[in-house]
Structure 1
Amino acid sequence: MAFADNDFTYINIFLSTYRAFASTSTVLELLLDRYGNLEISGSEERGSQNSPGSSTVLRTAIASILQAWLDQCAEDFQEPPDHVCLLKVLSYLKKNMPGSDPEKRAQNLLEQFQKEELENDDAFHSLSPCNLDEEEELEISGAQEFSLFQEELVAEQLTYMDATLFKNVVPHHCLGCIWSRRDKQENKHLAQSIRATISQFNAVTNCVVSTVLDSRELKTRQRAKTLEKWIRIARQCRILNNFSSLKAIVSALQSTSVYRLKKTWACVPK
């Protein structure tokens, strides 16, 4: 066994790929139900602690698996409001490994999920109807202020946000077996790290379009200045190797609503 040599490399590989052929609950059932009774017999405790089949080795192995699972793939256990799988793990750890690091991690994770649910509920109930006139006024003033920002500063801020999101991407979220199930209502919590990068991309694209098409009162030359500014920002993103924001800006400039501004594009230097 790999456990005998303290080689747990395959655990990371398994946690990254198991979703292609099994669910979290299925793997937990196979793992915990099969090895649910870890009572160490007297003979094992006296003479077989170092053997691969001993309960001591199994306890260490399962603790390592659960610790890695809770640390690397915490979203697997986010099943609001009941969190069935996480509660099953917590119950198992309290019975067989009280006071262990995996138990503390599971308990902290449960409290974290519950806190997030309360915060989301409070945020939902605190939403107030917005005044459309005030919202439009804020958008217009925001677009006017956009012209005051330096292109280098905007590109650097976009790069910082993109870098933060991409550093947090969970590799197995990119697998087709995960991403292909994202549209189902019960799977809305899947691949959150990938969804975050997509949301950022769409936000940048929408920002470009909204600043260009901000108001009917804008003159053609003013819109052309805005286009020039975004092109310069895209150039700075290219220099910073930020291809995500670069592509988002280019996509917005090539969108139908912006591309059809023939008079505006005619005022943009070649």
Structure 2
Amino acid sequence: MIPRNMRAGGYELPGVESREVPLIGYRPLSPDSGTPSSLSGRRGASDDLETSQSTVAEEEDDGVIYTVVVKQHGVPHGPTCVKAGTEEKLVLHLLHSFSLGDSSYITIFLSTYRSFTSTERVLGILTDRLENPPGDSEQSHIRQAFNKAVCTVFRTWLSEYPEDFHSLGNPTCLLRLAPLLPQDSSSAADLRAQLLRIAEELSEKALLLDSRRDRSSFDSPPPNPSLFEPTSILGFPSSLIAEQLTKIETELFVRLVPYHCLGSLWSQRDKKGREGVCWSVRATVRQFNKLANAVLASCLWPTTLRSQQRARLLEKWIGVAEECRARKNFSSLYAVVSALKSNPIHRLRRTWHDTDREALRRYEELAEIFSDKDNYSQTRELLKEEGTSKFANLDNRLNNRHVTRVRAAEVLLHPDLLQQTSIKSPT
């Protein structure tokens, strides 16, 4: 996954007309080697390529495996890139990557490290290293290069992924780290002040949590499900409902962290000790399920509704889905359509028979958007065609799509509602 601020425009990619392309990887050429202007090639470009021939070798040194580009002409050694290593060595390589020519390592590490370690662990390793910096004195060349690397790492980290620091449960590691930052530059002073502000916010947050626990015994009881009135939704305009849903989705997608969509992280969400991983994606999943369950509850409860009354509820939700489509809110649209396609509602034959024909036609058109034919190709094409901002559902982008699927066994209604539904099935 490409980090949020990384752009391909800064790199010359041979044979690519448009610069707006995802940068998966690259191998920089030395200044003395030319870069071909096109794949067809000219004689001059061919000569430049001939002089830039190189071989790739692997070297192991103290727990780290490096990929080394060995030049056959000119420079004896090209950039040295890390291929694998122990946890500690991978973290410490953040401070040595620039001196070895591995300029992309910091960006790659910060976007993927959560799949094999934690923020606390990375900060702990870096702090231990800062307590024993290299060089004999502050003015030595080695110490100055080290201090520059430290500032670069933390400046990039705080700029790209500030949520890593704000999500720390304990400010102790930040309070230990801040005094160890270099003292010889204004940028280091800014970083120190930034870390101390975050540590202060974490301390205040911990105090607020404690006070909330103290007041938890005085909280009001949960709402009584017997007071639920599903037909009340008919009193609200479909456009207003869609507008409110879009506002909720806007807040969720603004807070969405791109690297939370990595398969290596999402696959660990149910493992012990990883319950808080991918919290921003979990929030979108919860909203999807809440909306889908709201559609199910309003259409299936109470069981005393006649088929004509239940048909009016279906028409209302179809209208809401249309308004979501008009606002390009595909996440809420998919939740409503999935609920209407679920088995409990799909089996209401008399209700569907009493539903307006025009509403049914519009519903079928909306459902076709999320057809699984050709691996959801129509959904992807539609999202590409929409030129302006939109809220796409994450369902098709996660490895285990069953989390957000609406199935009969996953209807999260109140137990009392399930009991009453089992006594008398809806018409």
Query: Where does the alignment leave 5 or more consecutive residues of structure 2 unmatched?
Result: 1-95, 184-188, 358-427
User: Within the alignment, does 1:17 sit opposite 2:112 as a pair?
Assistant: yes
User: Within the alignment, does 1:110 sit opposite 2:202 as a pair?
Assistant: yes
> How much is the aligned-residue C-alpha RMSD, in angstroms?
3.1
User: Within the alignment, does 1:88 sit opposite 2:173 as a pair?
Assistant: yes
Amino acid at match of 2:128: D
Amino acid at match of 1:92: L
User: Within the alignment, does 1:101 sit opposite 2:193 as a pair?
Assistant: yes
**What's the offset of the Cα at 1:245?**
0.7
Name the count of aligned residue pairs. Answer: 253
Residue aligning to 2:158:
67
In structure 2, C-alpha distance between the alignment counterparts of 1:151 and 1:246, rounded to whole Å: 12
Asked whether the 8 Å contact 1:234–1:245 carries over to 2, the reply is yes
Structure-to-structure mapping, 1:47-196, within 5 angstroms: 48=141, 53-54=144-145, 56-61=147-152, 63-65=154-156, 67-68=158-159, 71-74=162-165, 77-78=168-169, 83=170, 86-96=171-181, 100-115=192-207, 117-118=209-210, 121-122=213-214, 124-127=216-219, 129-130=221-222, 132=224, 135-137=225-227, 139-140=228-229, 143-196=230-283
Q: Would you identify which runs of 4 or more consecutive aligned residues in structure 1 move more than 3 Å? A: 1-4, 8-13, 37-42, 51-56, 65-70, 94-99, 122-132
**What's the offset of the Cα at 1:108?**
2.9
In structure 1, C-alpha distance between the alignment counterparts of 2:156 and 2:130, rounded to whole Å: 13
Q: Any idea what SS the aligned residue of 2:273 has?
A: helix
Query: Where does the alignment leave 5 or more consecutive residues of structure 1 unmatched?
Result: none
- Greater helix proportion: 1
- Greater strand proportion: 2
Give the share of equivalent positions with the same residue, in percent: 33
Amino acid at match of 1:34: R
In structure 2, C-alpha distance between the alignment counterparts of 1:166 and 1:215, rounded to whole Å: 34
Asked whether the 8 Å contact 1:67–1:101 carries over to 2, the reply is no
Asked whether the 8 Å contact 1:63–1:102 carries over to 2, the reply is no
In structure 2, the CA distance between the partners of 1:93 and 1:39, relative to structure 1 (3 Å rule), is farther
Amino acid at match of 1:31: L
Question: Which of 1 and 2 has higher RCO (CA within 8 Å, sep 6+)?
Answer: 1
Amino acid at match of 2:283: A
**What's the offset of the Cα at 1:115?**
4.0
User: Within the alignment, does 1:213 sit opposite 2:329 as a pair?
Assistant: no
C-alpha distance after superposition, 1:66-106 (max 9, x if no partner) = 6347724236523xxxx3xx412321213546972233233
Q: Any idea what SS the aligned residue of 1:35 has?
A: helix
227-236 or 51-60: bigger deviation: 51-60
Please tell me whether Structure 1 or Structure 2 has the larger radius of gyration of its CA atoms.
Answer: 2
In structure 2, C-alpha distance between the alignment counterparts of 1:198 and 1:29, rounded to whole Å: 33
TM (normalized to structure 1)?
Answer: 0.79
Q: Any idea what SS the aligned residue of 2:296 has?
A: helix
